[in-house]
Structures are given as C-alpha cells and as structure tokens.
C-alpha cells in the first residue's frame, strides 16, 4: 500500500497557548524571525505541495501573498504560496478568487483523507483557529509544528478543545526568541 501523505500543521502560538487574540489579533507575533526559524518554515514548505485553508483565513492569505511585489524580500516565498495548489474548505462558498485555489465543500474527514491518499508531497495547514480545531478534533493532523512566541496574551483563540496526547519529535529555540516544537499525535493502535 502506498504511504499516505502527511497533514502538517504550522502555527504561531503564544506561551499561554493562544493562536490569536480574542478578535483574531496577530499583533503579538514575532516579526523578525532569524535565518534558522525561516529555514524551518522553508523546510516545511518544501516538503508540501498542497495548502489547506479554512474559509475565514482564505481571503486575507490569498490577497497578502498575491500582492507581494518583486522587490520585496518575501517575493520568492510569496511566489511559492501563490503557485502551490490551495484547497479551501467551505460549506457556503462555491468558488474563491485567487490563483491555484479550489473549494472543497464536502465532508471534512472524507475530503482530507482523499487528499492524503493522492500522490505527491505532504499537505500543510496554516490555520484558521476554527478550521484547525476541527482537523484536530477529527484526528486528521499528523505533525504539529508549533512556533511558540515569547509572549503571553491572557485570552484569545485556541486550537485545542480537548485533551490531546502528543510526542515531541524535536524542539529548537531560536535567537528571535521563538521556540519551534514539532509533535506527532499519539494514536491508539
């Protein structure tokens, strides 16, 4: 049997476990990542050829990366975000503006398992707190890459709703203060 593609989560998180402020604020995020942390992002990107997005996050994500100009230091990475096929999960939208984007309106578990069974590199999901929560709840994430920022915000949005047993694969602290922890879920059986 062919090996299934892995679904990898890459998410920024506060020390106290929030992925966004109460209204979705991301102003707490460490902006000046050092080369090592950026290297890890590139590594995750390189190992994937599909991006999953929740509906709420999609518009901002697509507009941001498509607007990056050639003179920007982010341009090379932005091109990859634009060129990589993106699958947006939505029960309401039928289509989404943007390059290499398609909408998936079917059952989440079936759709993700179908994507995992396709040939290719791994699949990466960057968020949308609600969307990622649903993926975690249905045990669909195979690798958690949590970028812990050196800040606590007291309240906000979480992705973990229930207890989840994880095994740490590696953990690296970077000069920017960000600690990147990579976990696998402990699955029964």
Residue 85: is its pLDDT beyond 80?
A: yes
Q: What is the average per-residue pLDDT within 51-68?
A: 92
Structure tokens at 174: 């970077």
Q: How far from 172 is each of 19, 73, 161, CA to CA, in Å?
A: 19, 24, 26
Question: Which of residues 94 and 83 earns the better pLDDT score?
Answer: 83
Domain ranges of the chain: 11-185
**Cβ–Cβ under 8 Å, residues 122 and 6:** yes
Per-residue buried b or exposed e for 66-81, using 16+ beta carbons within 10 Å of the residue's own CB: eebeeeeeeeebbeeb
Sheet architecture: strand order including 122-125: 101-104, 86-89, 48-54, 122-125, 7-14, 143-149, 179-185, 166-173
| Number of other residues whose CB lies within 10 A of the CB of residue 118 | 12
Interval 93-120: pLDDT, tens: 888 999 999 999 999 999 999 999 999 9
Look at residue 59 in the predicted model and tell me its pLDDT. Answer: 87
Asked whether the predicted pLDDT for residue 181 surpasses 50, the reply is yes
The per-residue pLDDT for 189 is: 46
Q: What span, in angstroms and rounded, lies between the C-alpha atoms of 143 and 162? A: 17
What is the pLDDT of the chain when averaged over all its residues?
Answer: 93
pLDDT per position as a tens digit, 11-36: 999 999 999 999 989 999 988 888 88
Fold entry, domain 11-185: Dihydrofolate Reductase, subunit A (3.40.430)
Q: How confident is the model at residue 154 (pLDDT cuts 50, 70, 90)?
A: very high
Beta strands 179-185 and 166-173: pairing type?
antiparallel
The model's confidence at residue 128, banded by pLDDT at 50, 70 and 90, is confident
3-state secondary structure of 138: coil
pLDDT at 32: 84
Mean pLDDT to the nearest integer, 143-158: 97
What's the pTM value of the predicted model, to 2 decimals? 0.92
Lowest mean pLDDT among 22-26, 67-71, 134-138: 22-26
Residue 114 makes CB contacts below 8 A (sequence gap 6+) with none
pLDDT band at 86 (very low <50, low <70, confident <90, very high): very high
184: phi then psi, degrees, rounded to nearest 5: -115, 145
């Amino acid at each position: 049997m062919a090996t299934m593609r892995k679904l990898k989560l890459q998410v920024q998180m506060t020390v106290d476990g929030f992925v966004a402020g109460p209204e979705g604020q991301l102003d707490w995020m460490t902006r000046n990542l050092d080369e090592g942390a950026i290297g890890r992002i590139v590594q995750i990107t390189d190992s994937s050829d599909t991006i999953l997005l929740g509906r709420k996050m999609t518009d901002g994500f697509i507009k941001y990366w498509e607007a990056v100009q050639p003179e920007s230091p982010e341009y090379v990475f932005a091109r990859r975000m634009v060129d990589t096929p993106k699958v947006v999960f939505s029960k309401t939208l039928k289509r989404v503006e943007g390059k290499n984007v398609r909408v998936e309106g079917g059952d989440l578990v079936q759709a993700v398992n179908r994507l995992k069974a396709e040939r290719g590199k791994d699949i990466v999901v960057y968020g949308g707190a609600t969307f990622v929560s649903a993926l975690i709840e249905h045990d669909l994430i195979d690798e958690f890459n949590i970028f812990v920022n050196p800040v606590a915000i007291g309240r906000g949005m979480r992705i973990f709703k229930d207890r989840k047993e994880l095994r740490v694969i590696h953990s690296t602290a970077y000069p920017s203060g960000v600690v990147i922890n990579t976990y696998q879920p402990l699955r029964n059986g």
